[in-house]
Chains A and B, each alone.
Chain A
Amino acid sequence: MTMDETDFSTQHSSIYIAPLRIEKTSKPKRSLSNASRKSRPRSQPHSRSQSASTYSHTSSHQQITPPPTPNTSQDSLAQGPGKEPAPPFQPFLRAFYEFHPNFSADSSTVTLPLNLGDVILVHSVHTNGWADGTMLSSGARGWLPTNYCDEFDPEQIRPLLKACAVLFDKFRGGSAGGLRASQVAVTSVVAGVRHLLETTECLTREASNVKSNDGIRRTRKVLLTELSALVKTAKRLPGHSEYSSAKPTTEDVTDEMILRCFKIVVRGVRFLDIWNQRHNLQNNFSLEEAGAAQGEDADDHVPPTPPADSTTHSMAGANSVRGDQTPEGNTEGHDTRSRSSSLQPAYALARLNVTHDVLLSYLGSYIGRLYHEARFTPQLQLTQQESVRAARELLAIVEAVEARDPKAAALVFAKEAMDARISALISAAKEVVSGCGKLEEVDEEGIMIPDSGKKLVDAATGCVRGAGECVAKSKFVIEKIGDFELHLGPFDIGLGITTPEGKLIDDAIGLSASAKAELERQLMPPPPTPEKIPPRPPPKEDPLDEKPLPTLPVSELEVERPTADTTMAESNPAFSTIVPGSPSASLPRRSSSASVIAPLPQLTPLLAQYDNVSETAQKRDVDSKTLLQKSIRADSIGASSITTADYTISSSVRGSELSMTSTRATTPEPVSSTSISTPLLSLDLTLVGSQISLESGSGSEILVPGKQVFEDLTFNRDGQITGGTLPALVERLTVHDSTPDAVFVATFYLTFRLFTTPKEFAQSLVDRFDSVGDSTTGAAPVRLRVYNVFKGWLESHWRKNVDDEGLETITSFAEGKLKAILPAAGKRLEELAEKVSSTDGPLVPRLVSGIGKATTATTQYTLPETPIQPPVVTRNQLSLLRSALTGGPNPTVLDFDPSELARQLTLKESKMFCSILPEELLAQEWTKKRGSLAINVLSMSSLSTDLANLVAETILDATDPKRRAILIKHWIKVADRCLELNNYDSLMAIMCTLNTSTIGRLKRTWELVSYKTKLVLDHLRAVIDVSKNHAVLRARLRGHVPPCLPFLGTYLTDLTFIDVGNPSKRPVSEGSTKQLINFDKHVKTARIISELQRFQIPYRIAEVPEMQEWIDAQIDRVHNSKTADVQHLYRRSLLLEPRETQPRPAPVEPSTPAAVAPKESQKIDLFSWAHAFKVPTSAT
């Protein structure tokens, strides 16, 4: 464990400059379930607890209850050695109860009615316990309550189930692998059936089992019949060509195959049931018993409603009475919680609230632990991870909201601030750990947290505050734009983002093996006592004896249960963390719950007052003293509620309880006071009270000493740095008492070379290191931060050649001063310095770099459920292409489908666009005449130009007006397809040509273009309209979900204007002569760059290499052609359709005499001028 992991800057940079990782979650609905399905680690459950962990992978960030249960903990520690990756498995559920919804939750949601014994293929499970699944017997897809079902995975049929899932994935998941893949899928289904028959000893008809039992014989026969039907169907799969033009047929066949496969599973299950019955094994689904559960009064057991309807949540929760909570509640809670992979559409507001509550509960627990344990225990670390996960999810939601209304600047700021705070929390934790010094000797006691523990508290409180603000701003936006369905996948945020970080923290904290074991032991829930669990009387033969139900989505219910059930908390200590915070947290915002918690109206004014405090505290750094005073006043009033809290909280977790509540108190309540229901207020006050006790308990260290004054800095109204001297900026980069602002850090790394030199920057850092001396209290963190800034620079932001001049300073600093004080850091920095001088490119791949992004993005952004469409290329076309490449006749664009041309063009441009590096966009690098580093920007602009010229050339190549008209129509189609693909860059290029006078003047040609085509053209013209600063185009891009290829030109213009329109220096204040670096300019630059990076997501388009090559050849030809410039093209246009003799004189045109015969005199005049003009030119 070295200090290497204490790198906050790298993360920061990615956060701001490339905010993609978070934004990725906003994507169309269809992709979601599949995305997670495909990406989530699957395990083959051998036991219940293991199967639970299957889910927890995906959803741990979504968990509602700290502390994490063993499954999660294993999970989060799973990166460690010794844990094999579990084989993938697709979860199946089996209905244990009838479910016939007699309430219509929402007309937009489809609820699957369940019959006893139904088998369901689950695509995803929502936090509230509803699952998105496909009923195997009918093939119908919809929502179903998981608490009515149990995991279905008997050993005998497991391979079959797995095969079924694979097959479904294959055909529905878009992993089109051609004929071979489908053959494999079918083969595995056959193998699955075989396995089933083998293990049940029914493989042959002569087997005694088959012979002796009629039921087995019959069901076996049906099963085999179905199997042969599947195999037959599979044979119809057209597979001789990869580029099958008979696509519809293929889809029909695959649909049928899926249905057949489902049937096989259904038959197999029936067979197994009969077999089990025969062998007196568990059999709960024989038809005779099906009616067992039907006598129940359905109303008593209304399961939670589908997630789309938030008002019924709490109602459902209230109904599912689980009064006698036993410790198993924990297990269950976990079980369901981990199930909740939360892929489902939910309304943004609801999701926002729930996630916010989850986050608060974690953070609360986290802070509480900090106070009461004063050491960095593994549990604490886990809580931190959960907090970070929850926070990331919250951010993802906020991001989604923002995508709807990108103009909400306040939201963006809040989001960025939140982002920064999360990073602050992480880095604070790492710092605590690394600052500890003897990391190798961490034992079960955890790391003793020095005074710096308060830093963690600060950071966590900051997160709470940030979250509150984010939520408030998001709600404001949602109110404005209206609620919308939100589709977020946990993988994207959970695993995609937090796992690396989580791992980092893991490493940073360096849990020893024993600590882990201890952790697992502590978190292991008591053995379940399932008898008490079932939400309704089980069927006669209780299946729960052996397999406890993956019960109701307990955690969800608890969170949303309107009645704060204190007994539950009491009886379930491990679970109780959730009790005071979560119910109250989530409920007040649900309309149905307002009445549940007794309101304490008399406290309202106080809270309002408190709100003021926290709000001001937000703007600047917290003046803790004021806060303390205010909260003391709150204390007396809140005392009564404190007792309530005490009552509910078991002693073991009281700390976290209190802290949770206290955090809540510090949150500026996001909702306007009118919209807050009273229960929340009362709770908040409770928490204010407890905050006091906590603060007094842990001493005055919470009161941060006065902030350093940054004399040479200027801020704008949002608290963002707008200017400063280099030392002041460097100081800001290495503040002692808080983590530097992420936006600031990222911007600094990206742009510092524009206002200083690498050498100067290095020296400033060294000076900063020296300046803190020994006496200052903040010296240690500052030194560490200086080191971290160096490290972030070298690791992720080093620019070979440009930065090398600073290397000497860095090396001598590392060897000398740094090593003397922080030997490990010094050594590490030395190593890094050595590495950067010997390696090209960044040591740690930057997330901002196109390549790194492309890889992470592919999995997250694309829409796996939409299969990659097979290219529309006939074999004939392919052979045309091939022969052209080997010297045969060159095909024309008319030989190819416009859609395919558009796709291949898009693919080509997208590759270039995705590899644009941020440094290409700085300081108008791309306009440099020679030696420009902006290779990708330039190749993109050159491609656009060449494409435009290619369009003109193909049209002008045709001598027949009719053919020209056909070509024009063809290109309009290509442009239209480009628009469909959101490829605005190619659209722009093609449209430019169609709008040129060269093409536009061909009257005879245009007369032959149909009205319909002209309408399309008009539509496209409107899109690329340049007026009002490209208003149409900008509006389209604003809320755009990638993949998308924006027109690069607007970014380049914006960057140019920012560069030119903002001075590089600014006065300290109006009229002051002292000039500061205009940092604001760089912040703006970074913002535009990050906006561009938002779209650096590759397309999911199948490449046709032959066509790519052909297009390349065409582009190259045009590029190198001397006649493909505007002048020559125009001349050709004149030749094709000579100017009609009109009174109007022809424009001055240096073209062939034949073409411009009428105006010869003028032309000659021009030439003479040009001549006269050029002679002195060469003379000078």
Chain B
Amino acid sequence: MQHRREYHIVILGAGGVGKSCLTSQFVHNEWIEYYDPTIEDVYRKVIDVDGRSCILEILDTAGTEQFTAMREIYMKAGQGFLLVYSITSLSTLTELSDLRDQILRIKEADSVPLVIVGNKSDLEEDRAVRRDRAIMLSQKWGRVPFYETSARKRQNVDEVFLDLCRQMMRADVGGSGSGGGASGGSSEKVYQTPRKRRFCVIL
């Protein structure tokens, strides 16, 4: 049997942006009757990425945003990061910068597998963050992939994880020395993805 690579994904973002919703939607394809968040492998999922199967372990600290001191410990455990904000709150987007700084510091790298996720795209009428704002941020960060998702409607959820997974795999193959390369390789997609997969954006 093929040895499965295991990747740790950490979901970060301010409280109330729907991180946990994103996670639970990804981990369980539908509402399930016995959803018990306390069991060991509830946040583990096997996915197929371009024909290669790997295990994703998702670390979601939802509910513990106030324990800011704990953040680093989670970040340390992660290889790839979903930085989630809510399109209904600008402050949740600005908060992401600190998070990224912290990640880079911990990883002692200038780039890590990372995806910017603008969640709650179903709440278009409450939108407070324009898309170009996030795209701008993505550019600043070295063309980090950016998606808008609706965890509630399960739009773009899998895509976000898949993208991150690809980045992690590339980083894995490329080795630690070429951190910039991994990021650069994905940059092609960066601009495509949001446009290609916009589901709820009404322009």
Question: Which A residues are within 8 Å of any B CB, using their own CB?
Answer: 716, 722, 924, 926-927, 929, 938, 941-942, 944-945, 947-949, 988-989, 991-993, 995-997, 1024, 1026-1029, 1031, 1034, 1049-1050, 1052-1058, 1060-1063, 1066, 1080, 1084, 1088, 1126-1127, 1130, 1144-1145, 1147-1150, 1166, 1169-1170, 1172-1174, 1176-1177, 1180
B64 lies within 8 A of chain A by Cβ = yes
CB-based contact B73/A1180 at 8 Å: no
Q: A1172 to B67: give the CA distance in the assembly, Å.
A: 30
The minimal Cβ–Cβ distance linking A1051 to chain B, given in whole angstroms, is 8
Given contacts A1173-B94, A1173-B136, contact A945 B20 (CB under 8 A): no
CB-based contact A1024/B73 at 8 Å: yes
**B140 neighbours in A (Cβ, 8 Å):** 1166, 1169, 1173
CB-based contact B40/A1034 at 8 Å: yes
**A997 neighbours in B (Cβ, 8 Å):** 72, 105-106, 108
Q: A941 to B18: give the CA distance in the assembly, Å.
A: 20
7 more CB-based (< 8 A) A-B contacts, given A1049-B61, A1054-B38, A1180-B90: A942-B66, A992-B69, A997-B106, A1057-B62, A1061-B31, A1063-B31, A1149-B101
CB-based contact A1061/B20 at 8 Å: yes
A929, A941, A1150, A1166, most chain B CB atoms within 10 A = A941
CB-based contact A1029/B40 at 8 Å: yes
CB-based contact A995/B72 at 8 Å: yes
The minimal Cβ–Cβ distance linking A593 to chain B, given in whole angstroms, is 42
B123 lies within 8 A of chain A by Cβ = no
Given contacts A1052-B64, A1180-B90, contact A1060 B33 (CB under 8 A): no
CB-based contact B36/A1147 at 8 Å: no
Q: A927 to B31: give the CA distance in the assembly, Å.
A: 23
CB-based contact A1061/B24 at 8 Å: yes
**B128 neighbours in A (Cβ, 8 Å):** 1180
B47 lies within 8 A of chain A by Cβ = no
**A1029 neighbours in B (Cβ, 8 Å):** 37-43
Q: A641 to B33: give the CA distance in the assembly, Å.
A: 49
Given contacts A992-B69, A1126-B68, contact A1062 B63 (CB under 8 A): no
Q: A86 to B160: give the CA distance in the assembly, Å.
A: 72
**A949 neighbours in B (Cβ, 8 Å):** 69
CB-based contact B63/A927 at 8 Å: yes
Given contacts A1049-B64, A1170-B97, contact A1057 B20 (CB under 8 A): yes
Q: A1130 to B69: give the CA distance in the assembly, Å.
A: 13
Contact string against A for B residues 36-68, beta-carbon threshold 8 Å, 1 for contact and 0 otherwise: 111111111000000000000101111111111
Task: Tell me the chain B residues, 173-202 only, with Cβ under 8 Å from chain A.
Answer: none
The minimal Cβ–Cβ distance linking A934 to chain B, given in whole angstroms, is 10
**A924 neighbours in B (Cβ, 8 Å):** 63
Given contacts A1029-B41, A1147-B105, A1180-B128, contact A1061 B35 (CB under 8 A): yes
CB-based contact B20/A1056 at 8 Å: yes
Q: A924 to B65: give the CA distance in the assembly, Å.
A: 12
> Can you list 23 residue pairs at the A/B interface with Cβ under 8 Å?
A929-B15, A992-B72, A995-B72, A995-B73, A996-B106, A997-B105, A1028-B40, A1034-B38, A1052-B63, A1053-B64, A1056-B20, A1056-B62, A1057-B60, A1058-B37, A1061-B37, A1062-B31, A1084-B36, A1126-B98, A1145-B110, A1150-B101, A1173-B133, A1173-B136, A1176-B133
Tell me the nearest residue of chain B to A999, going by C-beta. B72
Tell me the nearest residue of chain B to A1066, going by C-beta. B31
The minimal Cβ–Cβ distance linking B143 to chain A, given in whole angstroms, is 13
The minimal Cβ–Cβ distance linking A999 to chain B, given in whole angstroms, is 10
**B28 neighbours in A (Cβ, 8 Å):** 1061
Q: A1049 to B69: give the CA distance in the assembly, Å.
A: 12
Contact string against A for B residues 19-33, beta-carbon threshold 8 Å, 1 for contact and 0 otherwise: 011011000100101
**A1028 neighbours in B (Cβ, 8 Å):** 40-41, 44, 57
B16, B72, B90, B136, most chain A CB atoms within 10 A = B72
The minimal Cβ–Cβ distance linking B151 to chain A, given in whole angstroms, is 9
The minimal Cβ–Cβ distance linking A1174 to chain B, given in whole angstroms, is 8
A1024, A1026, A1126, most chain B CB atoms within 10 A = A1026
CB-based contact A1144/B69 at 8 Å: no
CB-based contact B61/A1053 at 8 Å: yes
Partner of A1053, one of B35, B63, B133: B63
A988, A1049, A1063, most chain B CB atoms within 10 A = A1049
The minimal Cβ–Cβ distance linking A995 to chain B, given in whole angstroms, is 6
CB-based contact B67/A1049 at 8 Å: yes
Given contacts A1150-B101, A1173-B136, contact A941 B39 (CB under 8 A): no
Partner of A945, one of B8, B15, B67, B137: B67
The minimal Cβ–Cβ distance linking B85 to chain A, given in whole angstroms, is 13
Q: A318 to B180: give the CA distance in the assembly, Å.
A: 84
Q: A1027 to B74: give the CA distance in the assembly, Å.
A: 9
CB-based contact B57/A1027 at 8 Å: yes
**B42 neighbours in A (Cβ, 8 Å):** 1029
Tell me the nearest residue of chain A to B15, going by C-beta. A927
Tell me the nearest residue of chain A to B140, going by C-beta. A1169
